[in-house]
Amino acid sequence: MKIVVIGGTGLIGSKLVTKLGEHGHEAVAASPNTGVNTLTGEGLAEVLAGASTVIDVSNSPSFERAAVMEFFTTSTRNLLAAESAAGVGHHVALSVVGTERLPENDYFAAKIAQEQLIEKSSIPFSLVHATQFFEFIRGIADQSTVDGKVHIAPVLFQPMAGDDVAQAVGRVAVGSPLNGRVEVGGPEQFRMDEFFREALAAWGDPREVVTDPQARYFGSVPSERTLVPGDGATLGQIRYRDWLSQNAAGK
């Protein structure tokens, strides 16, 4: 099966290409680095020729309101049109748990717009909503730092490893289209402030974690269950401490 991975040279995309290849699929990484640009349409017709499935794990280079909306709507329209012309039978997109619970968030609003375009298209589809990735935890701590202290809301948090994300997306991609969505999350649920307190201690980071109910998460204040999946979600197997011990990038 030929599977084209849009964003295939990125964090999740590169893992997907490797995992799909190991299972005997012809997995093709498509990104601006390989001559495929979903914003302009460059290279789409060529790379999609003969493809059965397309997985979109691409991400906007900017999270600014207008830019992120432009990226996800324009690239998705171009991609769906090219897929229709190529006879692609399954469109899989990676999205975020909680998008519908933070519609005022610029990034989440853009992901909602992307999903609506996919749902309205004629191409059978599957949406995979994932929780936050372990690989971005350090960046969240840095973004949440004010005057040397890390401000984190005391809400539920269930992050997961990029490898588990890729595995979940890959399994959906080789199956029948859901024409709906599935949620995936990490194997452990935490209080977000407590998780970051333990994470910084594990990194040897001296910054204090402040429990702040008004702390923002990518520009919005999350509520109790904004960031965690509902009942029936598929859970990964890699725990944060195990991931951290094996990934120098997380330290």
- Fold held by 2-250: Rossmann fold (3.40.50)
pLDDT, position 8 = 98
DSSP-assigned beta bridge partners for residue 156: 191
Res 219 pLDDT > 90: no
Q: What is the mean pLDDT of residues 184-208?
A: 97
pLDDT, position 250 = 45
- Quote the mean pLDDT of the chain: 96
Could you identify the residue written with the tokens 């001559």? Answer: 35
Q: Is the dihedral of CA 202, 248, 207, 164 positive or negative?
A: negative
Res 248 pLDDT > 80: no
Domain ranges of the chain: 2-250
How far apart are the C-alpha atoms of 99 and 110, rounded to whole Å? 9
Res 78 pLDDT > 90: yes
Strand extents, DSSP E, the chain? 2-6, 26-30, 53-56, 90-96, 125-130, 145-146, 149-152, 156-157, 180-185, 190-191, 208-211, 234-235
- Return the structure tokens found at 8: 């295939």
- Give the number of other CB atoms < 10 A from CB of residue 40: 12
Res 102 pLDDT > 90: no
How far apart are the C-alpha atoms of 52 and 82, rounded to whole Å? 13
**For helices 11-22 and 162-173, angle between their N-to-C axes, nearest 10 degrees:** 50
How far apart are the C-alpha atoms of 7 and 68, rounded to whole Å? 15
C-alpha distances in Å from residue 218, one per residue of 152, 165, 197, 221: 11, 20, 19, 8
Res 113 pLDDT > 90: yes
